[in-house]
Amino acid sequence: MDTNSTSAGSGSHGQGRSGNSLRCVTEVITATHHFEVPDFSLLDGIGIGKSVSSSTFRVGGCDWNFRLYPDGFMPTEGEAAVVFLYFCIFVKEQRL
């Protein structure tokens, strides 16, 4: 058996092992989602850790949404508004 031979195995997410190296191939997907908050000032004072969510949208077979925390996410952050992108669930794409 040749000890220098390469054996390419395929794993999930495009990973393959060849010799002593590991390669991960990623796919680039570009998408847009419009999340509008009318009358933002009305959300002032809803409380730290309370959020308003965008609608859920699908990109790359995964569900996502944005969550806006108008009064901040944690007390240590002060009262600065923050927005997070949340991964909701992985949805396996079905091919016909």
Q: Tell me: the pLDDT tens digits for 43-86?
A: 989 999 999 999 999 998 889 999 999 999 998 877 789 999 99
Backbone φ and ψ of 40, nearest 5°: -55, -35
When comparing pLDDT for 89 and 44, which is higher? 44
The answer to whether the predicted template modeling score (pTM) of the entire model surpasses 0.85 is no
Which pLDDT band, with edges at 50, 70 and 90, does 16 fall under?
low
Which pLDDT band, with edges at 50, 70 and 90, does 91 fall under?
low
Per-residue pLDDT at 4 exceeds 90 = no
CA distance 87 to 92: 14
